[in-house]
Chains A and B, each alone.
Chain A
Amino acid sequence: MNALVHPSAVSTDAAEASPLISVKGLEVEFRTARGTVRAVRGVDMVLRKGETLAVIGESGSGKSVTARAILGILQTPPAYIAGGSIQFKGRDLLRISEKERRSIQGARIAMVFQDALAALNPLLPVGWQIAELFKVHRSLPMWKGYEEAIELLRRTGIPSPEERVNQYPHQFSGGMRQRVVIALAIALSPDILLADEPTTALDVTVQAQVMHLLAKLRSEAGLALLLITHNIAIAAEVADRVAVMYAGRVIEEGPTADVLKRPTHPYTAALASLASDAITGVQAPIPGSPPDLAAIPSGCAFHPRCEMARDVCRQVDPALRTIRQGQRSACHFAEEVSL
């Protein structure tokens, strides 16, 4: 087993580096015939060079929408950016031209999708799809692109890459397909890799393989990784920092160990307790269900499900504030939260 870089070594460096991507006040709305739904309601997020940030949340939290906004692949309509900015290398990604955006997508910021079958074109061999990237972004001839593709497949651990480069997506197993998607993502050596639930659809042994690969690639290339997941355990394993999202907002954020072991928001505490090994038998710490984004509760969006809720929670939406060094939380009673 490879000795992987221990996280603390990376994070101290990362802490001193300036932000690679800085999301401020992001607001995304979905305008449909049913009305307007605010999927992201003012999100601040920072990702530094070489750092791994895990965005944790359940359905409706807005985590995927945020990632897609960063990459610029939201479908407009029905999605509209209603506010905020995303600073990347001195430019606001929300205000750049289409041409500039296309030069960034895939090359500087790339995404690994959850559903590999949907992310790959079923009618083209995988080698072709990778080579095409090189052709578009680096003007390399296709045959050269194929050579790069073989190398990439090797790097992502696909055996016999010279043969497999000519195969179609359906000829790969789930785990192998995910590796192809990862190969596509790292092909142009991007600065940032966005991974949207990269292992959710996979078996647990395959999950381990893929996470291992992602971590290895990350340390080799010094990539910044934004990992979106609902699985706290996976976040605990790879992430330097964690941001917990609920109903379109970041409700807690900080270094992984601090957030998961000393949470300062009741939602985080509940999720952490569900994920911990200490649970035996069946307990359901969180009643109710994630809110309908078209009808978000007043005040703090979590208050109907929170056992600590008091009057102020129903009336005033708490702002994200610093509770401890490097750890922020959006709860009126953050100091009282314990696991």
Chain B
Amino acid sequence: MSNPIPAPFGNPALRAYLAMLRRDRFAVIAVTVLILVLVTGLVIAPLMGDAAVLQDLRARMRPPFQLQFGLHSLLGTDLLGRSVLYRLAAGAQLSVSIALTAAVAAATIGTAIGIWAGYAGGIVEGVAMRIADVILSFPTLLLALLFLYLLDSQTGNIILLLIIGRVPLYIRVARAETLETRGRLFVDAARSLGATSWTICTREIAPVVLPTILTLAALDVGVLMLLESGLSFLGLGVQPPAVSWGGMVAEGRRWINSAWWLTLFPGLAIFLTALSATIFSNWLRVAMDPAHRWRLEGTRPGAASARSGIAS
């Protein structure tokens, strides 16, 4: 019986991942949405210039889907005549970059600390866990208030805040997984082969811990977007004239009965992006686990069949 993904000595190639992706329709949709958001945020938004902040008082408070006014007013306009559509695109840039950066940074830092703490034990573990506990014991909002009161609401500080807030989660998860993995025989085997602690952490433990962390991080991107939106909603997030989805929701709150489109579209954007991140992370978890990959491959794995009579 041949391996359906022939790739001696390595992980399945990118093509194989794409094949696995195709098999999960929800994941395809999710990835499409995410790519759309990413492209909008990172490519389109910078090209827009200041289209998002251009005011046009003649075009104030237009309801959406009135095609006679063109693309500018497709999703309606706000109090100052600014295009909701263009602002959505601009907001994507900020929301995505904040969430992505924070997620990647928190995951990397937290996992590294967590694995080290879990493997080394002793004082290192104690200190790491206490730090994590302290951070976790702060209600997020209180932390945000304190933080952003002391430092101003610049994008960089917001990212820093989010990272600090999320790192403990990764420390804990990585440490717990490391503790469990550390006792497994293949770690003993690596030690008896002469592997150093560094090698064991990076080559044996990290690959086992990574899928969980990646799944968490993908999920976290959605969470961070929501957090950032929350902060903006409270006025603690990015300040005008910078545009973010949360800020748009906050501004539109006053007119939620009359100009419903001001809150609906940015809210929808947040919702769909977070949902897509969740679905994608779910797919990723299965795709990365060699033992469960078969669900996405459409074939059944199994021990070598006795049919060929190969001695096993």
B6-14, B33-41, B296-304 - interface stretch:
B296-304
- Which residue of the partner chain A has the closest CB to B300? A34
- Please state if B302 and A295 are interface contacts (CB–CB under 8 Å): yes
Cβ distance A47 to chain B, nearest Cβ, rounded Å: 31
Alpha-carbon distance A255/B98, docked complex (angstroms): 76
- With A33-B295, A34-B294 known to touch, is A289 a contact of B307 (CB < 8 Å)? no
* B309 in contact (CB, < 8 A): yes
A294 to B306, CA, bound (A): 12
Cβ of B297 to closest chain A Cβ, rounded Å: 11
Rounded to whole angstroms, the CA-CA distance of A35 and B301 in the bound complex is 11
A288, B309: Cβ atoms closer than 8 Å: yes
Contact A289 B300 (CB under 8 A): no
Per DSSP, chain B at the interface is loop
Chain A window 196-209, contacts with chain B (Cβ cutoff 8 Å), 1 for yes, 0 for no: 00000000000000
Known: A34-B294, A34-B300, A35-B300. A295 touches B309 (CB 8 A): no
Residue of B nearest to A290 (CB): B306
| A304-B308, A305-B309 given; A289·B295 CB < 8 A | no
In the bound complex, residues from chain B placing their C-beta under 8 Å from that of A287 are 309, 311
Interface residue? A157 (CB, 8 A)? no
Interface residues as binary, A302-317 with B (CB distance below 8 Å gives 1, 0 otherwise)? 0011000000000000
Interface residues on B, range: 10 to 19
Q: 1/0 contact trace for A269-291 toward B, CB 8 Å?
A: 00000000000000000011111
Check: A19 CB closer than 8 A to any chain B CB. Answer: no
What B residues does A34 contact at CB under 8 A? 294, 300
CA distance in complex: A34, B292 (Å): 11
Q: Give chain A residues whose Cβ lies under 8 Å from the Cβ of B196.
A: none
Return the chain B residue nearest A34 by Cβ.
B300
Residue A297 lies at the interface, judged by CB distance under 8 Å to chain B: yes
B residues near A292, Cβ cutoff 8 Å: 302-303, 305-306
A288 to B312, CA, bound (A): 5
> In the bound complex, what is the Cα–Cα distance between A289 and B306 (angstroms)?
6
Give the Cβ gap from A310 to chain B, nearest Cβ, in Å: 14
**Apart from A287-B311, A291-B306, what are 14 other A-B pairs with CB-CB below 8 Å?**
A34-B300, A35-B300, A288-B310, A288-B311, A288-B312, A290-B306, A292-B305, A294-B300, A294-B302, A297-B307, A304-B307, A304-B308, A305-B306, A305-B309
Rank and list the top 7 A-B pairs by shortest CB-CB distance, nearest first.
Answer: A289-B312, A291-B306, A292-B302, A304-B306, A304-B309, A288-B306, A287-B311
Chain A positions within 8 Å of B, measured between CB atoms, are 33-35, 287-292, 294-295, 297, 304-305
